[in-house]
């Protein structure tokens, strides 16, 4: 009996020591709220404390919940999405046992966002649907609207743009009904993004203007800067690149004023993309390097991945293909570390284009096919279409124009299905060129006309240049 009592006492002592260890880091985390460097230094100790708490905590203990919620912002900032999921799922068990539905809904939101970043979209959708159900049970209309927005974002990520817009509209309706101005602004911004991706830049800009007005009413300077950034991207897609630069520069100044380093990095990245579109590639590289420097400084690894990809694009356009390969390979490595399959597939598409430029279209096709496989697994319709179009381009480089047309037709069908007018127009032009190479000028002119009509409708600066090219094809048709 005495030995049993000693064993129980030892377990109690260890249990209390583990609790004290965990609570020490919980308190320290609150004191170092934005200090990711502190988290990196202490990460091993924090994870050791978590392991003990995870195993020892009773179903009534709130400690696992406190750990999951307190450390989630650090883990998300460092791209530790798998940890957010595993810690969150363990905390979810405790929240369910304690019938703490509000906490359960918060954890489901965090887990869903992390799964989205991991590209595990079906699992993310299931968590957000459970979160939506809980918010409805709790009669929390604000939370319900937020959950609908998250579900819309999953459909958006998959390229199911009209479905995404439906959920954003539902979020908007709830926000307006309960006078949730911040929720209304968020829903308007998301709707703007959906319409921009659908190729309807005029509608996107209308929605962004409404979002911007609310940001200014709420004096939400950070959100205002984000909206200016989005407006810049829409103007760039309209071919109004100088206007886009003005908006990105306004956003950059605002991000710096509010101390949002990640926003500053995004604005630099967008300025780089504007320079890329203008052919000012050295300026683009400079902006992308500043973007990379900032995200490394703040420790945001997901944004670091994007910056590496941007540099890969710029160096490819400069013809410095070895550098382009190096940056894309580095992004692939980082995507693997983050468990980011979507990021891997996007990078493979970029890498395939580099090998196509190097005159290795067959190797490019192999790389594009791996990207295509991942996008299909993720049910990402938009990027599936992009990969199919890339394979078509590589086939065209091999002078296999009939095969290229097969891939372009599949890509075009997807772009029409999801309603992406911009990518539909781009794919139609490639189809036109392939038919022209086969000597089928009537088909070529028909597809090229789709592109010209779209460019004229949105006022794109290339519209008349492409119209002249179309006229040249039509003139060949009229020759006996």
Report pLDDT for 102: 96
Report pLDDT for 14: 54
Quick: pLDDT tens for 117-168.
887 888 999 999 999 999 999 999 999 999 999 999 999 988 788 899 999 9
Quick: pLDDT tens for 330-371.
999 999 988 888 889 999 999 999 999 999 999 999 999 999
pLDDT band (50, 70, 90) for residue 2: very low
Q: Degrees (nearest 5) of the Cα angle 321, 327, 330? A: 140
Tokens 């934005």 identify what position?
Answer: 34
* Spatial separation of the C-alpha atoms in residues 45 and 25, rounded to whole Å: 9
Over range 371-388, report the average pLDDT: 90
Over range 244-252, report the average pLDDT: 97
* Spatial separation of the C-alpha atoms in residues 425 and 462, rounded to whole Å: 12
Whether the per-residue pLDDT at 447 is higher than 90: the answer is: yes
And the tokens for 306?
A: 């994007």
Give the highest mean pLDDT range of 54-63, 170-179, 250-259. Answer: 170-179
Of the listed ranges 1-5, 123-127, 209-213, 412-416, the one predicted with least confidence: 1-5
As a residue count, the chain comes to 480
Over range 218-229, report the average pLDDT: 96
Quick: pLDDT tens for 59-76.
778 899 999 999 999 888
Report pLDDT for 322: 96
Calculate what percentage of the chain has a pLDDT beyond 90: 70
**What residues contact 156, with CB distance under 8 A and at least 6 apart?**
164, 190, 193, 194, 197
| More confident: 140 or 19 | 140
C-beta separation of 95 from 115 below 8 A = no
Q: What is the enclosing helix (H) or strand (E) of 443?
A: helix 441-458
Report pLDDT for 150: 96
* Spatial separation of the C-alpha atoms in residues 363 and 253, rounded to whole Å: 43
Whether the per-residue pLDDT at 378 is higher than 90: the answer is: no
Backbone phi and psi for residue 48, each to the nearest 5 degrees, phi listed first: -65, -45
Whether the per-residue pLDDT at 451 is higher than 70: the answer is: yes
Does the pTM surpass 0.85? The reply is no
Report pLDDT for 5: 46
C-beta separation of 96 from 104 below 8 A = yes
pLDDT band (50, 70, 90) for residue 307: very high
Q: Degrees (nearest 5) of the Cα angle 412, 413, 414? A: 90
* Spatial separation of the C-alpha atoms in residues 85 and 124, rounded to whole Å: 10
pLDDT band (50, 70, 90) for residue 32: confident
Whether the per-residue pLDDT at 7 is higher than 80: the answer is: no
Backbone phi and psi for residue 33, each to the nearest 5 degrees, phi listed first: -50, -40
**Radius of gyration of the chain, Cα coordinates, nearest whole angstrom:** 25
Over range 223-240, report the average pLDDT: 93
pLDDT band (50, 70, 90) for residue 462: confident
And the tokens for 365?
A: 């096709």
Whether the per-residue pLDDT at 290 is higher than 70: the answer is: yes
């Amino acid at each position: 009996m005495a030995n049993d009592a000693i064993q129980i006492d030892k377990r109690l002592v260890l249990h209390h020591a583990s609790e004290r260890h965990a609570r020490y880091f919980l308190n320290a985390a609150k004191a170092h709220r934005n200090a990711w460097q502190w988290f990196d230094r202490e990460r091993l100790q924090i994870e050791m404390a978590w392991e003990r708490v995870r195993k020892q905590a009773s179903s009534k203990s709130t400690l696992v919940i406190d750990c999951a919620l307190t450390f989630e912002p650090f883990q998300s900032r460092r791209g530790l999405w798998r940890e957010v999921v595993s810690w969150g799922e363990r905390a979810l068990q405790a929240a369910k046992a304690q019938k703490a539905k509000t906490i359960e809904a918060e954890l489901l939101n965090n887990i869903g966002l992390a799964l989205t970043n991991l590209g595990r979209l079906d699992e993310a959708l299931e968590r957000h649907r459970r979160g939506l159900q809980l918010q409805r049970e709790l009669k929390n209309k604000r939370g319900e609207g937020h959950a609908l927005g998250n579900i819309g974002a999953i459909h958006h990520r998959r390229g199911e743009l009209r479905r995404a817009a439906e959920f954003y509209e539902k979020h908007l309706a709830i926000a307006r009904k309960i006078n949730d101005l911040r929720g209304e602004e968020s829903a308007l911004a998301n709707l703007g993004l959906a319409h921009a991706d659908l190729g309807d830049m005029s509608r996107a800009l209308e929605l962004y203007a409404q979002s911007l007005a609310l940001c200014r009413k709420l004096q939400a300077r950070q959100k205002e800067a984000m909206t200016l950034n989005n407006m810049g991207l829409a103007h760039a897609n309209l071919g109004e690149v100088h206007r886009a630069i003005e908006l990105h520069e306004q956003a950059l100044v605002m991000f710096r004023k509010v101390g949002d380093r990640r926003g500053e990095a995004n604005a630099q990245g967008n300025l780089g993309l504007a320079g890329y579109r203008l052919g000012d590639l050295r300026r683009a590289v400079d902006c992308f390097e500043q973007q990379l420097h900032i995200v490394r400084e703040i420790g945001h690894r997901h944004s670091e991945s994007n910056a590496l990809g941007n540099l890969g694009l710029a160096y490819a356009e400069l013809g410095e293909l070895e550098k382009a390969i190096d940056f894309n390979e580095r992004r692939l490595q980082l995507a693997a570390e983050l468990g980011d399959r979507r990021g891997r597939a996007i990078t493979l598409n970029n890498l395939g284009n580099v090998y196509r430029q190097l005159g290795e279209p067959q190797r490019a096709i192999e790389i594009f096919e791996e990207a295509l496989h991942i996008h299909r697994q993720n049910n990402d319709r938009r990027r599936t279409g992009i990969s199919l179009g890339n394979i078509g381009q590589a086939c065209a480089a091999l002078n296999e124009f009939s095969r290229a047309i097969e891939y372009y037709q599949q890509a075009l069908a997807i772009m029409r299905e999801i309603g992406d007018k911009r990518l539909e127009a781009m794919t139609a032009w490639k189809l036109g060129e392939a038919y022209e190479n086969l000597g089928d000028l009537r088909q070529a002119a028909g597809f090229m006309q789709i592109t010209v009509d779209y460019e004229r409708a949105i006022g794109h600066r290339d519209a008349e240049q492409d119209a002249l090219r179309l006229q040249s094809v039509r003139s060949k048709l009229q020759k006996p």
